[in-house]
Each structure stands twice: as structure tokens, then as C-alpha cells.
Amino acid sequence: MKNIKTTPEAHIQHQLISEIEVGLLNITPYISPKFLYDPLGSHLFTAITLLPEYYPTVTEKHIFSEFENEIAHHVGLGGTLIDLGAGNCEKAKSLFPSIQPSCYVALDFSKEYLEDSIKKLQAEYPSIQMTPIGMDFSKKLSIPDSVPSNRTFFYPGSSLGNFLHDEAINLLRQIKSQVRGGGLLMGIDLMKSDEALINAYDDALKVTAAFNLNILRSVNTMIGSNFNIEQFRHLVKVNHAVNRVELYLETLEELTVSWPGHERTFQKGELIHTENSHKYTINSIQKLLEQSGFSSSTIWTDPKQYFAVIYAK
């Protein structure tokens, strides 16, 4: 019998397929939010950030602009900028003039979308060494030793809110262990009224609905399933018990979804959980950072206290 060797890419693909199947076959079905960000999903999320209802992007941008010099003072000049969930790289690009990184490392789940973004960015900033890395850092964050020290991990958009408490601590501890003289610069969404939250996650143009529904197309591509997005609707809930917004896909009728080796019947009104977006207070995020090994933090907010930008070391 011949030994069949699998490539690292094939192994990762197998793990992702297995992760999707476990979620779909769970008593309360779920799909990891990382599968929202296939190439189409990444473009849809970029569109979401342009919506007037979606306050996080514009508020965070305002904070970075207003406190640009202070942030640059804390981060320092000429170091390495590591962009977690880089997407189109536009947020990191806005920091280039102030912190002047010598090296930029962009990480994202969608490598195809990322490589296209980096190609355009490199042409604009030829003096900055740029490296795109396709990585699912939601499980394990591992920065190559070849990446220079004095690393600033950049995690904007309150993406940390997608993680449960223990998961967030795990990621933050991994970041802390790899900063090598640098720190963490991140955006965090703060808790606010239900009205503001619902409007942000269920916009009038239904772009967020399209973004959420697209995860079913992504899953179809990954595992060969036959989800029909017309049989589902986008649903948003605010869970005050744990201070988070929850995204779901609700079935509009009884249906059966199949894929190689498996099938699942969904009842009308059954929910598939696709994303959590935890909201913090200043005290709760400081406590989380302390539990993760960061000894100091500087925090900047907007006048409404809707959002916070934090630099931690």
C-alpha cells in the first residue's frame, strides 16, 4: 500500500470542512464567522463600512484622525505593522503617514482578496516591505520568525468582539507573546442603545443581510452543500446578558440541506448562528487586557463614547 502524502493546504482545507460540518450538525447549528469573508463576502463587508448606519468604521476613523499624533507617539516610528484581518488594507494604509512602518504584514482568511489588495498597496508604497499571509488566526496565531521585531499588532474594527471571552483572552495572549518589543493597537466597540445596534447590523439597503446570507454560498463552495439563500432571512438579536449583538440566519420553511456524506433537516423558524459581536465598557476591556498579560493601556474615545481605540503593551 502506498503512503499518501497530503499537502499543508489540503490538511487545512480538510480541517475547515470538518469545522463547518460539526457546526451544521450541532443541536443548535452554527457557522463560524470567518466563513463570511470569502472574496464576495469581503467586498460586501467593505460596502457595509460605507453605510451611514454602520457607525464603527466612521467613528473609529474619526478617533484615529483626531488623535493621530498621540497614537504615533505611543506606537513609535519605523517598526513592523502586523494587520490582523487586513481585508482591503485601507485602515492600515491610513496609518502609514504617521507611524511610517518599515515592514507591513497583512493577515486575512481570504488570501485571494488579500493578495490583490497588497499588490495595489505595494505599488503605492514601494519602500515598505510588504508580506501577505493567508491565515486563520482565530485558532492559532503564528508570525514567522523572519518578521522583524518591534511589532505593532493592528486589530481595528472591534473584530475582537467576534470572540467569546476565553477565545479573546487566548488570542490576546498569543499577540502579547509575539510583540517583540511592540504592542497592540486595536479598535473596540462600546455598549450602546439597542436602536443604534440594530440599525448598524440590519441596514435599510440590506447590505448586511446580503453579507450574512452569502455565508451559505461560501459553505456551498467549501463542502458541496445545496443551501438555497432564498429559504433564509437575516436576523439580528441584542443579547444584554452577555453584552453582544448576535447574527443568525432563520429558515423561512422546513427544508433539508445535503452535502457529501451528510444531510440535515431544518424546521421552519430554526436559526443558524453566524456571528457574535461583543460590546465592551472601558472597564471590561481594560480587565480583559490585564488578564491577557498586558500591563498598560492608553485609550482614546469619541464624544459619544460609542467606540474606543486602545494601545496596549
Residues 273 and 226 in one domain: yes
**Do the domain assignments include residue 10?**
no
Stated as kind and residue range, the H or E segment containing 74 is helix 68-75
**Do the domain assignments include residue 152?**
yes
Residues 105 and 244 in one domain: no
pLDDT score at 109: 81
pLDDT-derived band at 300 (thresholds 50, 70, 90) equals very high
Report how far residue 241's alpha carbon sits from residue 119's, in angstroms, rounded to the nearest whole number. 44
CATH number at residue 111: 3.40.50.150
Residues 112 and 139 in one domain: yes
Residues 248 and 269 in one domain: yes
Question: How far apart, in Å, are the Cα atoms of 56 and each of 31, 51, 103, 158?
Answer: 24, 10, 27, 8
The answer on pLDDT for 5 being more than 60 is no
Residues 137 and 78 in one domain: yes
**Do the domain assignments include residue 289?**
yes
pLDDT score at 1: 47
Residues 147 and 223 in one domain: no
Residues 242 and 128 in one domain: no
Residues 146 and 269 in one domain: no
Domain count, the chain: 2
Question: How far apart, in Å, are the Cα atoms of 191 and each of 13, 162, 228, 239, 285?
Answer: 36, 14, 34, 11, 11
What confidence tens digit (pLDDT) does each residue in 231-265 have?
999 999 999 999 999 999 999 999 999 999 999 99
Question: How far apart, in Å, are the Cα atoms of 170 and each of 23, 137, 163, 173, 219?
Answer: 21, 11, 10, 5, 26
Mean pLDDT of 57-71: 97
The answer on pLDDT for 60 being more than 50 is yes
pLDDT score at 138: 86
Q: Report percent pLDDT > 90 for the chain.
A: 89
**Do the domain assignments include residue 88?**
yes
Contacts of 222 (CB under 8 A, 6+ apart): 16, 17, 20, 35
**Do the domain assignments include residue 91?**
yes
What confidence tens digit (pLDDT) does each residue in 80-93 have?
999 999 989 999 99
pLDDT score at 6: 59
Domain assignment of residue 147, given as a range: 55-192+280-312
pLDDT-derived band at 139 (thresholds 50, 70, 90) equals confident
Residues 124 and 146 in one domain: yes
Mean pLDDT of 262-281: 97
Report how far residue 309's alpha carbon sits from residue 290's, in angstroms, rounded to the nearest whole number. 16
What confidence tens digit (pLDDT) does each residue in 15-58 have?
999 999 999 999 999 999 999 999 899 899 999 999 999 999 99
- b/e 17-56 (16+ beta carbons within 10 angstroms → b): bebbbebbeeeebbbbbbbbbbebbbbbbbebbebebbbb
Residues 211 and 247 in one domain: yes
Report how far residue 19's alpha carbon sits from residue 240's, in angstroms, rounded to the nearest whole number. 28
Angle at which helix 282-291 crosses helix 165-178, to 10 degrees, equals 60
Residues 127 and 22 in one domain: no
Residues 128 and 22 in one domain: no
pLDDT score at 184: 98
**Do the domain assignments include residue 211?**
yes
What confidence tens digit (pLDDT) does each residue in 173-232 have?
999 999 999 999 999 999 999 999 999 999 999 999 999 999 999 999 999 999 999 999
**Do the domain assignments include residue 174?**
yes
Average pLDDT of the residues of the chain = 94
**Do the domain assignments include residue 268?**
yes
